């Protein structure tokens, strides 16, 4: 293992190179730009034998990926925020066509108001698209989840596209040590892309055809079943990844000091790092606090959470997104997973549009949770309301 | 028919979807009035009007959705196509 200090986006670009996509199509947008710049350079320098298709929009980028994937290529794209919003129609189409496309999402807030800064509203917006959604806590996870995503998506029992989500700027632009695996090891893990079916002039086939009311419901059921099957595939290939690369991904939910925890925090993405530090300090002060990090949001690990929350007294869900008029997306899922359990679950919407979340905020939230106060926007500046 | 993953289909499958069932009005072509100008065949959005060997035209009611464009566009001097309510 060779640790290198590098920017998150460049680490992702170098990892995508190791996965040997044959076609890359993406449109630059902050904070994802360095990934596509990195990949464009890698292809131009001959370090990856791939077609890099320049397009005029994100809609076209993912459309090009659909064509290339249907034609039997391993493909990659990356986007964020408004770019993902512009892709919306193609996001749903690619999932319904069951094409194993992997797309990096450098998570960013959604307009309006315009914000280039981090939250997770963009990928959460595509919650119901039928794409798998994985969230990285740090740059190493962003690297590893890209490799794992191809393995899961291309399984003929799954055949789905996946987002690999990592927080914009907080991870995408941060330099930290990462282990970029060896080409031979990645080749051995992934193997060449083996399409389940593909466009072929000599054996014609059409993707994403018209389904009458007699068939549509069944197509959606089959799609839902495939997303749910991806949970077991994640665990299986995550374990295999751990055996090959030394970092285990056999769980959809990461655990930190939950064995005796009275208050359990549930969160997703880079904020988990801050929470772990805050937990260490709270434990020194005698508070029994633990963390469950949602590494795989789609499929949602409902049963895993239910089992892991069995001994908790209260739960604080930290959402960097909000389903306006309801609650944060993670909290809604956790409440659904724990329905019928005698367990108070409080939601805290925080960190939207790049608002910093500090260790002191985590401690404040744990205190609020202990008082039974929650289901709120945390950290509002009352003076500007 | 089992579902193809990704809603895939082999060529010619669209002929299995008999979209004529969507129709409210159906066309009747009066071959006596028809001048065989071919306008109806050109403008039919479903491509379900074909010319027979004897140069007359036929409407395939398995696929005609009853839009009525053929009746509307049939030239005034002929007005050979009329639309009629489907009795279901």
Helix (H, G, I), strand (E, B) or coil at B39: helix
DSSP structural state of residue B21 = G
Domains of chain A: 3-245 (3.40.50.970), 253-384 (3.40.50.920)
Mean local confidence (pLDDT), A366-384: 98
Q: Looking at the domain assignment, is residue B30 inside a domain?
A: yes
Helix (H, G, I), strand (E, B) or coil at A239: helix
Task: Indicate the pLDDT class of residue B18, thresholds 50, 70 and 90.
Answer: confident
Report the alpha-carbon distance of residue A166 to residue A119 in Å, rounded.
10
Q: Looking at the domain assignment, is residue B27 inside a domain?
A: yes
Mean local confidence (pLDDT), B57-65: 96
* pLDDT tens-place string over residues A334-356: 999 999 999 999 999 999 999 99
Q: ipTM score here?
A: 0.75
Contact: A209, B9; criterion CB under 8 Å: yes
Residue A348 tokens, joined: 């805290």
Find chain A residues with C-beta within 8 A of B4's C-beta.
197
CATH code of residue B74:
3.30.70.20
Locus of tokens 């893990």: A189
Q: What is the largest CA-CA distance in chain B?
A: 52
Q: What distance in Å separates residue A15's CA from the closest CA in chain B?
A: 28
Measured between CA atoms, the residue of chain A closest to residue B6 is: A97
Q: Using alpha carbons only, what angle is made at residue A163 by residues A196 and A270, rounded to the nearest 5 degrees?
A: 150
Q: Looking at the domain assignment, is residue B5 inside a domain?
A: no
Q: Looking at the domain assignment, is residue B56 inside a domain?
A: yes
Q: Looking at the domain assignment, is residue B3 inside a domain?
A: no
Provide the domain limits for residue B31: 20-85
Q: Hey, CA dihedral for B51, B54, B57, B62, is it positive or negative?
A: negative
Contact: B14, A210; criterion CB under 8 Å: yes
Determine if the peptide bond prior to A330 is cis (ω within 30°).
no
Mean local confidence (pLDDT), A155-177: 98
Contact: A211, B10; criterion CB under 8 Å: no
Report the alpha-carbon distance of residue A73 to residue A62 in Å, rounded.
14
Report the alpha-carbon distance of residue B61 to residue B58 in Å, rounded.
9
Find chain A residues with C-beta within 8 A of B19's C-beta.
none
B14 has a chain A CB within 8 A of its CB: yes
Helix (H, G, I), strand (E, B) or coil at A37: helix
Q: Is B17 exposed, middle or buried (0-12, 13-18, 19+ CB in 10 A)?
A: middle
Q: Looking at the domain assignment, is residue B8 inside a domain?
A: no
Task: Write the residue in B3, B5, B9 that is nearest to A206 by C-beta.
Answer: B9
Q: What distance in Å separates residue B71's CA from the closest CA in chain A?
A: 28
CB atoms within 10 A of CB B61: 14
Domain count, chain B: 1
Site from A207, A216, A220, A221 to mutate, B interface, most B CB atoms within 10 angstroms: A207
Q: Looking at the domain assignment, is residue B1 inside a domain?
A: no
Q: Looking at the domain assignment, is residue B24 inside a domain?
A: yes
| pLDDT for position B31 | 92
| pLDDT for position A210 | 83
């Amino acid at each position: 293992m060779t640790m290198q200090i590098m920017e998150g986006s460049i680490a992702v670009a170098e990892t995508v190179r190791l996965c040997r996509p044959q076609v890359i199509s993406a449109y630059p947008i902050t904070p994802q730009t360095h990934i596509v710049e990195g990949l464009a350079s890698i292809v131009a320098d001959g370090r990856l034998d791939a077609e890099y298709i320049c397009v005029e929009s994100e809609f076209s980028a993912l459309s090009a990926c659909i064509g290339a994937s249907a034609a039997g290529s391993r493909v990659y794209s990356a986007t964020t925020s408004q770019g993902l919003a512009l892709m919306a129609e193609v996001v749903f189409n690619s999932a319904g066509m069951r094409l194993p496309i992997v797309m990096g999402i450098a998570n960013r807030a959604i307009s309006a108001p315009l914000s280039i800064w981090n939250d997770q509203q963009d990928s959460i917006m595509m919650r119901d698209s039928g794409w798998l959604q994985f969230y990285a806590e740090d740059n190493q996870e962003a690297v590893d989840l890209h490799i794992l995503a191809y393995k899961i998506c291309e399984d003929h029992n799954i055949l789905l596209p996946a987002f690999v989500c990592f927080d914009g700027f907080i991870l995408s632009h941060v330099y930290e040590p990462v282990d970029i695996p060896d080409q031979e090891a990645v080749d051995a893990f992934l193997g060449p892309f083996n399409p389940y079916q593909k466009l072929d002039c000599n054996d014609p086939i059409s993707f994403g055809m018209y389904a009458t009311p007699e068939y549509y419901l069944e197509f959606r059921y089959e799609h839902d079943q495939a997303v749910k099957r991806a949970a077991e595939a994640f665990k299986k290939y995550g374990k295999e990844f751990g055996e090959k690369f030394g970092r285990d991904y056999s769980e959809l939910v990461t655990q930190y000091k939950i064995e005796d925890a009275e208050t359990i925090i549930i969160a997703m993405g880079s904020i988990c790092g801050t929470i772990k530090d805050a937990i260490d300090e709270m434990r020194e002060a005698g508070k029994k606090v633990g963390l469950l990090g949602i590494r795989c949001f789609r499929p949602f690990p409902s049963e895993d959470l239910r089992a892991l929350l069995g001994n908790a007294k209260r739960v604080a869900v930290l959402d960097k997104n909000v389903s306006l008029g309801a609650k944060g997306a993670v909290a809604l899922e956790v409440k659904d997973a724990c329905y019928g359990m005698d367990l108070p679950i409080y939601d805290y919407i925080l960190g939207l549009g790049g608002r910093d979340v500090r260790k002191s905020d985590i401690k404040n939230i744990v205190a609020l949770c202990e008082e039974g106060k929650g289901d709120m926007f945390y950290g509002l500046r009352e003076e500007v309301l | 028919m089992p579902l193809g993953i990704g809603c895939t289909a082999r060529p010619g499958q669209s002929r299995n979807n008999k979209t004529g069932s969507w129709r409210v009005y159906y066309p009747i072509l009066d071959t006596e009035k028809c001048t065989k100008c071919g306008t109806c065949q050109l403008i039919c959005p479903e491509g379900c009007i074909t010319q027979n060997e004897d140069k007359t035209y036929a409407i395939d009611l398995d696929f005609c959705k009853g839009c009525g464009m053929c009746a509307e566009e049939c030239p005034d001097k002929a007005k050979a196509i009329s639309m009629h309510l489907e009795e279901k």
